[in-house]
Amino acid sequence: MMITSTTKLVGLLGHPVGHSFSPLMHNAAFAEKGLPFAYAAFDVDPARIGEAIAGIRALGLRGVNVTIPHKVAVMPYLDEIDPLAAQIGAVNTIVNEQDKLIGYNTDGPGYVRSLTEETGINLQGQTVTIVGAGGAARAVAFSLAKQQVKEIRLINRSRAKAEELAEQLSAILPAVVVEAEQSKEAIANSGLLINTTSVGMYPNVADTPIAAEWLHRDLIVSDLIYNPFKTRLLALAEENGATAHSGFGMFINQGALAFELWTGLDAPAELMRKTVLDALRQAV
């Protein structure tokens, strides 16, 4: 798409952003839909995030995605926070509605969309074990709570962080912190296991957050990592007869939901998926 004087600008605020596939993915989607939009990546020093948000207003950007380390820091500068983003405590998408900046979190809903589409799981009544208690875990946990899962169990190195998340979740559904020695038992009668940590991410591809013998064939094992596309944890899941689910779909769907918030149109999710997959293959 040619950039003209009527092009609407969106983008990504992060630090760093040079590794991001978001510009490639979104610009392909805008071109596919014939929309006068362009997406750029902005490397914003944390000390200047307030100036960056002011720039959205001053320059009339339609909106932005927000990534590490700004997802929490942007919140005080916004006019309104979507209830789910407020629960999660982080924003990854901002929409500029006639100079009113509204913060959303599409990470959790993007994950749920990916999980249900790719595995066919019925989340209602499921017992879920989550490894990790950071920002990604919060996004996933609160989004799963909206799907009426039965219980969420948290395994995390920092007990205090897990207890804080469990306490907040407990206002919605049963949520417990699992002691290290109880992890195997907690997973044994769970239907869904989710790794939200960076354990197993490139270049430490041999690492896994869960012992192989804890996995079983009645389990869906989901790993938010998508580099590598199939982590060691997912490979072990398949070897033990479990269903494996990659975090790649979460990345695509969180972007698709942001696209829909900015444009009001259905996102070409399959094209977005193919665009990023092709780029990943070329990068190997």
Is the whole model's pTM more than 0.75, yes or no? Answer: yes
Give the E-state strand segments of the chain in sequence order.
Answer: 8-14, 37-43, 63-66, 80-81, 93-97, 100-104, 127-131, 151-155, 175-177, 192-195, 220-223, 243-246
Q: Which residue pairs, CB below 8 angstroms and at least 24 apart, start in 200-206?
A: 200/225, 200/231, 200/232, 200/233, 201/225, 201/227, 201/231, 202/227, 202/228, 205/231, 205/232, 206/232
The residues that bridge with 93 in the sheet, in sequence order, are: 65, 104
Is 247 a known ligand-binding residue?
yes
The answer on whether 21 is annotated among ligand-binding residues is: yes
Domains and CATH numbers, the chain: 8-105+250-283 (3.40.50.10860), 108-246 (3.40.50.720)
198 annotated as belonging to a binding site for a ligand: no
What are the tens digits of pLDDT across the range 122-162?
999 999 999 999 999 999 999 999 999 999 999 999 899 99
Reported as a single tens digit per residue, the pLDDT across 9-32 is 999 999 999 889 999 999 999 999
134 is in an annotated binding site: yes
**Residue 125 burial (CB count, 10 A):** 11
139 is in an annotated binding site: no
Question: Catalytic residues, which ones?
Answer: 71
pLDDT digits (tens, 9 = 90+) for 217-269: 999 999 999 888 899 999 999 999 999 999 999 999 999 999 999 999 999 99
DSSP designation for 217: T
